[in-house]
């Protein structure tokens, strides 16, 4: 197995890293403080092909693979994990349409998604159905050529912006996980409304709201795939989403480590630079080793997903758990090495810590990742 990046992959990574340095990093603290969702910047990223990373090119996508995507999202997260993570979620929604939608649906919706003229939100979680996603209650009742949706989704990233688009998992029958279907609800649909923007620990530069459906009517033609495969679509989307969010953890943690190395080369204590103390050098070495191990694991899982390997779901769960735990631990250690300055907003470390904490929860909690792995081991 060759772990060297091709010239094209290195160029893709460098392009995303340059964009992060020029367009994200200089504004990340301001966006966090003001809770600004920088839609024009998202569209600049889309103009470089990052609105449809692994979408087929006949509808404006970049046609790249999952390993390529991990390179992009890690690079973007060095500038701002919050924005990188939203772009990841948007890509996951677009992929679900590209993979399971009809040709008519793909041509109708994907060009605007790839350009990020339209911004997508993934609507699975509900107030009473988080980890137990198959227990969702939002219903889509058939009424002639329409579905009428009633229910509520919770913790929906990107919800309520003026250019919104919702990929919704709704119950079309009472047959458990087999009774869930995937339905697109465009922004502005009558009966669609939103809760207040949630006050969060991190991820402040992207809105997070409840999404409510009150007799919300959409055409049956907005259903992706046949009835009853929505849970399958949702879980397939999450395989890639877990890789992407793990990559965002890597990028944020790498940025925290880089900031820490620079800081320790300047700060002095007891007459020596901090990076001259062997104990602190060893701490930096451990952080770098942990990130490299996580990166290697992530690439292994991405390669398995690209190859459609039968163990891809298990490896994606493993990589998500390991990499998001590692990313948070490294960012937290970086804050500690900054001492009191790390606790101040000016240095940007505390923002990375706040942003990365939720990665251990979303796209399936890390406890659920353990369940996926354990069931594969014990055959249940």
Mind telling me the catalytic residues?
A: 363
* Torsion sign across C-alpha atoms 120, 125, 131, 137: negative
SS3 content of the chain, % helix, strand, coil (to 5): 60, 15, 25
Tokens linked to 370? 């353990």
For 293, the enclosing helix (H) or strand (E) is helix 278-306
Instruction: Please answer whether residues 246 and 359 qualify as being in contact, where contact means their C-beta atoms are separated by less than 8 angstroms.
Output: yes
Instruction: Please answer whether residues 269 and 279 qualify as being in contact, where contact means their C-beta atoms are separated by less than 8 angstroms.
Output: no
Relative to beta strand 146-157, strand 139-143 is: antiparallel
* Torsion sign across C-alpha atoms 358, 364, 367, 370: negative
Cα–Cα distance measured from residue 264 to residue 281, given in angstroms and rounded to the nearest whole number: 10
| 169: helix, strand or coil | strand
Instruction: Please answer whether residues 37 and 161 qualify as being in contact, where contact means their C-beta atoms are separated by less than 8 angstroms.
Output: yes
Long-range contacts of 300-306 (CB under 8 A, 24+ apart): 301/243, 302/65, 302/66, 302/67, 302/69, 302/70, 302/243, 303/66, 303/67, 305/66, 305/239, 305/240, 305/243, 306/65, 306/66, 306/67
Tokens linked to 43? 């569209």
Q: HSE-up of 270 (CA within 13 Å, CB side)?
A: 4
């Amino acid at each position: 197995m060759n772990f060297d990046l091709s010239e094209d992959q290195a160029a893709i990574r460098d392009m995303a890293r340059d964009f992060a340095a020029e367009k994200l990093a200089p504004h990340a603290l301001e966006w966090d403080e003001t809770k600004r969702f920088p839609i024009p910047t998202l569209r600049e990223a889309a103009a470089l092909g990052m609105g449809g990373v692994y979408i087929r090119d006949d509808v404006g996508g970049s046609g790249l693979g999952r390993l390529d995507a991990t390179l992009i999202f890690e690079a973007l997260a060095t500038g701002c994990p919050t924005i990188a993570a939203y772009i990841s979620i948007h890509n996951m929604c677009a992929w679900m349409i590209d993979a399971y939608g009809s040709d008519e649906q793909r041509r109708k919706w994907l060009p605007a998604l790839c350009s990020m003229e339209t911004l997508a939100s993934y609507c699975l979680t509900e107030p009473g159905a988080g980890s137990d996603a198959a227990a969702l209650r939002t219903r889509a009742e058939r009424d002639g050529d329409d579905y009428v949706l009633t229910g509520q989704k919770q913790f929906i990233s990107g919800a309520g912006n003026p250019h919104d688009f919702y990929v919704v998992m709704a119950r079309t029958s009472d047959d458990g996980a087999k009774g869930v279907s995937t339905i697109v609800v465009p922004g502005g649909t009558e009966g669609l409304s939103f809760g207040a923007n949630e006050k969060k620990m991190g991820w402040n530069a992207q809105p997070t709201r409840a999404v409510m459906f009150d007799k919300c009517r959409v055409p049956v033609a907005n259903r992706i795939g046949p009835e009853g495969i929505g849970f399958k679509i949702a879980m397939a989307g999450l395989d890639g989403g877990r890789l992407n969010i793990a990559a965002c953890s890597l990028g944020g943690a790498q940025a925290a480590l880089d900031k820490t190395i620079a800081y320790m080369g300047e700060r002095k204590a007891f007459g020596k630079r901090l990076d001259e103390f062997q104990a602190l050098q060893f701490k930096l070495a451990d952080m770098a080793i942990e990130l490299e191990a996580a990166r290697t694991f992530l690439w292994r899982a991405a390669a398995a997903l690209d190859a459609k390997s039968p163990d891809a779901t298990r490896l994606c769960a493993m990589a998500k758990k390991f990499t998001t735990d590692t990313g948070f631990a490294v960012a937290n250690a970086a804050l500690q090495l900054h001492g009191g300055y790390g606790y101040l907003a000016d240095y940007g470390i505390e923002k990375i810590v706040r942003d990365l904490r939720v990665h251990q929860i979303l796209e399936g909690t890390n406890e659920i990742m353990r369940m996926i792995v354990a069931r594969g081991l014990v055959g249940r």
